[in-house]
Structure 1
Amino acid sequence: MSSTLAKIMEIEAEMAQTQKNKATSHLAKLRQELITPKGEGFDVAKTGDARIGFVGFPSVGKSTLLSNLAGVYSEVAAYEFTTLTTVPGVIRYKGAKIQLLDLPGRGHQVIAVARTCNLILIVLDVLKPLGHKKIIENELEGFGIRLNSKPPNIGFKKKYKGSINLTATCPQSELDAETVKSILAEYKIHNADVTLRSDVTADDLIDVVEGNRVYIPCIYVLNKIDQISIEELDIIYKVPHCVPISDHHCWNFDDLLEKIWDYLKLVRIYTKPKGQLPDYTSPVVLPYSRTTVEDFCMKIHKNLIKEFKYALLWDHTLEDEDVIQIVKK
C-alpha cells in the first residue's frame, strides 16, 4: 500500500476525534496527490461518439461481458486484476459508435483513463455486490471521480483583497463562515467570494476549490443472475442505477444497452442533402450539452463553419433525431 493511501486511511479513522474541517481539507490534499499523475502512464485514443469504462474485481465477468458486447478478446487469467491492458472495443448502437474500455486493475494510469469516460460501468457479482461496490466507489472517489452526482451549487471566485465574503441563499446544516474560512485557509486562500446556493458540505466546498473533479454517470451491472432466485431478481430491479444480467447466457443485454443509451444522453442529427431525402443511415451524434448548429458543423469538419451560409432546421433547437440541411457559401 502506498504511503499516501496509508495516510488517508489513518486520517479517516481519526476524523471523529479531530477538528473535522481541518482533517477533511488535509484528506483532500492527500487525495490530490493520488489524482496527480506520476511517471509514464498510458492512454487509449478516444474514438467514436462516446467512451465507456468497465471497472470491476476479477472473476465478476467484466471481460466476458465486454467480449460478448463488442467481440473483443481480453486476455483473462485467475489472478487479481487479470486484464493485462486497457483493451478498446467499439459497438454501434442506434447509429452511434461507442468505445468500450476494459480497465485493468485500479492503478493511477487506469483511473486517469477512467476520468475521460462518458459513462462508467461497475461490474459486480450479484452474490457479493455490496462489499465490492463500496471498495470501487471509494477508490474512484479518492481519485476525484464523482458518480451519478452533479457539481455542487457553489459559486467560488478568488480575489486580490477584501477577505472572505460568504453568501448563503438557503439555510446551511454544516457550513458557516468560520468553517468556510478555515477550509480556505488550508489552501492559503484569504480573499474570495463564496456563494452557497444549496445545503452543501465541507467536501462539496473542497471539490469546488480544488476544481479537478469529474462528474460521470455510472451503471452498476449485477452479473450472474442465473445463480439467484426470481424473488431476489425482483428486489435487484428496484435498486437505482442497476441492471441485472447474465453474461454467460447473454441475458438482459437489451436492457443494459437501453440503460447505457439513456445515461449517455446522445443526440442523433440526420443530414439532408439539397434536393434529396434525409440520410437516416449515418447520423451525426452529439452530446446533449453541445447541440448548436456550430457544434454540428464542427463535428463534421472544422472547416465547414468557415463555409457555412445558413441551415434549414425542422425545429428551433437540435434534438434527438432532428433533420438539418446545411447550405454553404
Structure 2
Amino acid sequence: MSSVEEQIREIEDELKKTPYNKATSKHIGRLKAKLARIRDEAVARAMASSGGGEGYSVKKSGDATVVLVGFPSVGKSTLLNTLTGTKSETASYAFTTLTVIPGALEHKGARIQILDIPGLIAGAAIGKGRGKEVIAVVRGADLILVLVDVFNEKHVDVLLRELYDAGIRINHPKPDITIKKAGCGGIRLNTVGTAELDIEDIRSILAESKIVNADVLIRGEVSQDDFIDAMFGNRVYVPAFIAVNKVDLVDQESRKEIEEDMENRFGQPPIMLSAYSGYHIEELKDAIYDNLGFMRVFLKPVGGPADMEEPLIIRSPATVEDVCNRLHRDFVDKFRYAKVWGSSVKHDAQRVGLAHTLNDGDVLTVVTRC
C-alpha cells in the first residue's frame, strides 16, 4: 500500500495534468476533496500520536498573540529578544529553540504576546520534525509573522504550503457557506450572489465525504477550495505578513531585488529588517499593530471625565458587548444601556445597546443595574 506522501503526490500530479474546464470541473473537485481528506487524516494522526514535548502549551495573554513562523536559524529567537527583551537562546545552528518561548511587546498601548516556536520544516503538517506541536500553536494565533532571511527567502512558498496543508488559511476571508446534513432529499443548493460552483460540482465534492443528503447555502463568490474547506469545517483563517531578516549581510542592490521579488510574488512588500542591529524594528512593531486591526476605545465613568490617557485596546470590529466582556462578565449580565461619543453614532451621548459596533477613538460609558 502506498504511503501518505505517495498518495498525495499521485493526486497532485493528476490535478496538474487535468485541464480545467466545464467538463472536467466535477472530476477536479472530487480529486481536490480526496486530497484534502488524505491530508486531514495525516494531520489528525500526527496530532494524536504519542509524544509532545514540554513547553508547547502556552497560555494566551495580552491583547493578541503573534507567532513567529520560519525555517530553523532565520533569527526568530534574536527577533523575539529584540522586540520583547525575552532571553530566548540563540546560536548559529538549527533548532536552538526546542520549545515555545513567549515574550510581551508593549506598543501604542497594546500588550502583544509574541511566541518563538521551533523552526518549521517540509512535512511539518503531517508531523515531521516537531511539526505537530508547532502547527497546534500556530493555529491558535491571532497573527502569523512569516520570517525568512536573505539566504532562503525564495523558499518561503514551502512555509506557506505547510501552513495551508495544516488547514491554516492566510489572509483569506472565511467563506460564508452553510452545509446541513439531511436524512433524505439529496443535495439542495441555495445561493445568494454569484457562486462559481454548480450543483454537480457540489454533489461530487460532498460525495467524497459520503454526504448525499444536505441543504447547502452559499453567500457570495466561493471556489471549489472554499467549499472543500467548509465541508471539513476545521480550517482557521489568520492574517499574516512576511519579514526578511539579516538584510545587513547583503548590499543595497540585493536588498532591493529581494524586496521587489517578494512583492511581485505575494502582492505586498515585506518588512526588510535586521533583528541583530535593530534596523526597521520600529517599522515591524507598527506592522504587527496594524495587521492585528487594533482600535482604541476611551472609557468614561458615569458622571466623570473620560480617561483619554489610557484607552482600552481591542481588535476591530468590536461591539459594546465585546468591550463589556473585556471589562468584566458582570457588565453584560447587568447591562442597561451605553452612551457613545464619536464617529460610530449620529450624535454625542447617543444611547446604544450591546450590539452597537464601535469605531476607533469612540468614548464609551456603560450603565449597569445595581
TM-score, L = length of structure 2: 0.79
205-214 vs 30-39, greater mean Cα deviation: 30-39
Residue number in structure 2 paired with 1:220: 242
Counterpart secondary structure, 1:47:
coil
Counterpart secondary structure, 2:194:
coil
The residue identity in structure 2 corresponding to 1:12 is E
* Cα offset, 1:195, TM superposition: 4.4
Residue number in structure 1 paired with 2:144: 120
* Cα offset, 1:180, TM superposition: 1.9
Distance 1:270 1:185 in 2: 52
Distance 2:222 2:285 in 1: 34
Judging changes above 3 Å, is the alpha-carbon distance between structure 1 residues 171 and 325 closer, same or farther for their aligned structure 2 residues? closer
* Cα offset, 1:318, TM superposition: 1.8
Residue of structure 2 aligned with 1:188, choices 210, 216, 226: 210
Residue number in structure 2 paired with 1:328: 368
Distance 2:323 2:221 in 1: 37
Residue of structure 1 aligned with 2:270, choices 236, 239, 242: 242
Contact 1:34-1:108 within 8 A present in 2 as well: no
* Cα offset, 1:121, TM superposition: 0.4
Contact 1:72-1:89 within 8 A present in 2 as well: yes
Distance 1:45 1:257 in 2: 22
Residue number in structure 1 paired with 2:352: none
The residue identity in structure 2 corresponding to 1:54 is L
* Cα offset, 1:77, TM superposition: 3.8
**Structure 1 position 260 matched with structure 2 position 288:** yes
Judging changes above 3 Å, is the alpha-carbon distance between structure 1 residues 196 and 302 closer, same or farther for their aligned structure 2 residues? closer
Superposition map of 1:281-320 within 5 A: 281-289=309-317, 291-315=318-342, 316=345, 317-320=357-360
**Structure 1 position 53 matched with structure 2 position 67:** yes
The residue identity in structure 2 corresponding to 1:320 is D
TM-score, L = length of structure 1: 0.89
Distance 2:308 2:96 in 1: 41
Distance 1:93 1:144 in 2: 30
Distance 1:194 1:305 in 2: 34
Residue number in structure 2 paired with 1:11: 11
In structure 1, the gaps of 5 or more residues are: none
Distance 2:132 2:103 in 1: 22
Counterpart secondary structure, 1:305:
helix
Residue of structure 2 aligned with 1:280, choices 272, 296, 308: 308
* Cα offset, 1:103, TM superposition: 1.4
Identity %: 41
Contact 2:294-2:316 within 8 A present in 1 as well: yes
* Cα offset, 1:122, TM superposition: 0.7
Distance 1:321 1:255 in 2: 23
* Cα offset, 1:241, TM superposition: 5.3
Distance 1:312 1:200 in 2: 39
Contact 2:72-2:118 within 8 A present in 1 as well: no
Judging changes above 3 Å, is the alpha-carbon distance between structure 1 residues 114 and 15 closer, same or farther for their aligned structure 2 residues? same
* Cα offset, 1:232, TM superposition: 4.5
Q: CA RMSD in A?
A: 2.5
Counterpart secondary structure, 1:325:
strand
In structure 2, the gaps of 5 or more residues are: 19-26, 121-130, 346-356
**Structure 1 position 95 matched with structure 2 position 109:** yes
Residue number in structure 1 paired with 2:23: none
Judging changes above 3 Å, is the alpha-carbon distance between structure 1 residues 180 and 286 closer, same or farther for their aligned structure 2 residues? same
Distance 2:17 2:281 in 1: 48
